[in-house]
């Protein structure tokens, strides 16, 4: 029997022109020359670049914002994982809904109720950490050149997403009570004079990363009103809101207006490695966000969502959050005490009432970015302020995280940093 002719493989087919060009030795573009223009804004975060050195054991890292998982009940979680696979493995290990597991979305509404939010589970979209929610929200709102308002300084991961979509960030300064409404009004007024309406204000109202401050309750409605009057959306990023040291929670911006896009996360209240976060969006935004999520990841992982859902149903998660806050409060206290003891004259810092971070101002003559290698040589790492601004500002500021090292290591780290600063200042 004659064999059927082998069909031509698409991999064999070389277009005649390309073959001729290759034969003629035409220059081929480097792989990097094929990158899209928008990738030019994707620069390595200064903090991530530091990770390798900062994680050497002899270096006290006050740089990263890693939650302290030593406080988690690992045995109980191991049993939960085993039971999840044994009883619900067929579902937990399968694809799921692009919007997220329905039971978890209901529980997320209960979590948000602690900050005064009344939400419908249908308006919740589960994402791979709130970082993905940030990325998707930027994707659906921002064309290249669009303006986004953000506090100055702001979360480095948000700045990364804005850069990836070629949005232009205009910073609005904060004081010890958070974003300053008058400066927000001024920024919007100046942009309006140029005919520019920003796409949204990105704000971290509670226990800010990196500034450690909290937006005063009396400013919250005003911030919303100002944005509404200019037709600017508000994106509220709130991964730390339940980690207040006084036990107090603040009304979420979303509790004051249903138009706010709210981003939440289990990274800081439960476990960051599970990568479960969410967006709560106005109904008109939801379908577009789900489509964007689908194209990014088909669906969030069923397994980790179901694990979080079981954890919330069967464990005292409020008690766990309280344990976390106690751990972080002790570490915050250790850091504040060490700062008061060791820091040279002219340094300033805030007293955070929750979250992970202290924001340090240093005297004139010190450049925190240039100083970093000398600090690492002195076995202490921090995050230089410049990483938290889109415009290169921040060289006289730095972020110190107290979430991960023990109180003793924090004290030693601050002592070393003070020594480095003293040497820079020649005191």
Binding site for ligand PMP (CB under 6 A): 65, 129-131, 155, 157, 204, 209, 237, 239, 265, 267, 272, 277
Gap between the Cα atoms of 168 and 162, Å rounded: 7
Sign of torsion over alpha carbons 345, 409, 62, 204: negative
Residue 155 CB, shortest distance to ligand PMP, in Å, is 4
Q: How would you label 47-70 residue by residue, b for 16+ Cβ within 10 Å and e otherwise? A: beebeebbeeeebbbbbbbbbbee
Gap between the Cα atoms of 298 and 75, Å rounded: 32
Query: To which residue do tokens 């990014």 refer?
Result: 296
Of 321 and 347, nearer to ligand PMP (C-beta) is 321
- Name the DSSP class of 383: E
Name the token pair of 4. 């059927």
Residue 129 CB, shortest distance to ligand PMP, in Å, is 2
Gap between the Cα atoms of 138 and 128, Å rounded: 15
Q: Measure the CA angle with vertex 13, ends 9 and 14; round to 5°.
A: 160
Closest residue to ligand PMP, Cβ-based? 129
Residue 117 CB, shortest distance to ligand PMP, in Å, is 17
Reduced to 3 states (helix: H, G, I; strand: E, B; else coil), residue 265 is strand
Gap between the Cα atoms of 267 and 335, Å rounded: 23
Gap between the Cα atoms of 297 and 44, Å rounded: 23
Of 112 and 421, nearer to ligand PMP (C-beta) is 112
Residue 136 CB, shortest distance to ligand PMP, in Å, is 12
Of 293 and 371, nearer to ligand PMP (C-beta) is 293
List strand residue ranges (DSSP E) for 350-404, in order.
Answer: 357-361, 380-381, 383-384, 397-401
Of 157 and 420, nearer to ligand PMP (C-beta) is 157
Residue 48 CB, shortest distance to ligand PMP, in Å, is 12
Contact predicate 241/325, CB 8 Å: no
Radius of gyration of the chain (CA): 24
Residue 67 CB, shortest distance to ligand PMP, in Å, is 9
Of 253 and 366, nearer to ligand PMP (C-beta) is 253
Of 252 and 347, nearer to ligand PMP (C-beta) is 252
Residue 411 CB, shortest distance to ligand PMP, in Å, is 24
Residue 131 CB, shortest distance to ligand PMP, in Å, is 3
- Name the DSSP class of 360: E
């Amino acid at each position: 029997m004659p064999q059927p002719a082998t069909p031509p493989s698409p991999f064999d087919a070389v277009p005649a022109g390309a073959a001729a060009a290759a034969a003629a030795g035409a220059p081929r573009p480097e792989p990097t020359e094929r990158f899209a223009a928008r990738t030019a804004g994707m620069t390595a975060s200064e903090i991530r670049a530091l990770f390798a050195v900062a994680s050497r054991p002899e270096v006290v890292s006050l740089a990263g914002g890693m939650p302290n998982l030593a406080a988690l009940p690992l045995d109980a979680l191991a049993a939960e994982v085993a039971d999840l696979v044994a009883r619900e493995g067929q579902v937990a290990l399968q694809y799921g809904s692009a919007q997220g597991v329905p039971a978890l979305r209901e529980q997320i509404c209960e979590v948000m109720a602690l900050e005064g939010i009344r939400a419908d589970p249908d308006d919740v979209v589960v994402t791979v950490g709130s970082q993905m929610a940030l990325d998707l929200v930027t994707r659906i709102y921002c064309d290249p050149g669009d303006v986004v308002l953000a506090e100055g300084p702001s979360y480095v991961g948000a700045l990364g997403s804005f850069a990836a979509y070629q949005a232009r960030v205009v910073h609005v300064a904060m004081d010890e009570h958070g974003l300053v409404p008058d400066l927000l009004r001024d920024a919007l007024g100046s942009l309006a004079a140029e005919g520019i309406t920003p796409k949204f204000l990105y704000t971290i109202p509670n226990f800010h990363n990196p500034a450690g401050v909290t937006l005063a309750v009396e400013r919250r409605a005003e911030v919303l009103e100002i944005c509404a009057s200019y037709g600017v959306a508000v994106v509220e990023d709130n991964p730390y809101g339940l980690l207040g040291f006084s036990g107090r929670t603040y009304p979420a911006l979303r509790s004051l207006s249903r138009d706010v896009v709210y981003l939440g996360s289990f990274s800081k209240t439960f476990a960051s490695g599970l990568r479960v976060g969410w967006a709560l969006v106005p109904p008109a935004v939801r379908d577009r966000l789900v489509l964007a999520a689908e194209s990014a990841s088909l669906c969030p992982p069923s397994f980790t969502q179901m694990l979080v859902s079981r954890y919330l149903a069967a464990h005292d998660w409020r008690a766990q959050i309280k344990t976390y806050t106690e751990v972080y409060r002790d570490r915050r206290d250790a850091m504040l005490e060490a700062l008061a003891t060791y820091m040279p004259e002219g340094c300033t810092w805030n007293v955070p009432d929750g979250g992970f971070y202290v924001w340090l101002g240093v005297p004139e003559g010190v450049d925190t970015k240039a100083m970093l290698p000398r600090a690492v040589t002195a076995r202490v790492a921090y995050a230089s302020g410049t990483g938290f601004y889109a415009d290169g500002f921040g060289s006289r500021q730095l972020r110190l995280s107290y979430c991960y090292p023990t109180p003793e290591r924090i004290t030693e780290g601050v002592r070393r940093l003070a020594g480095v600063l003293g040497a820079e200042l020649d005191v």
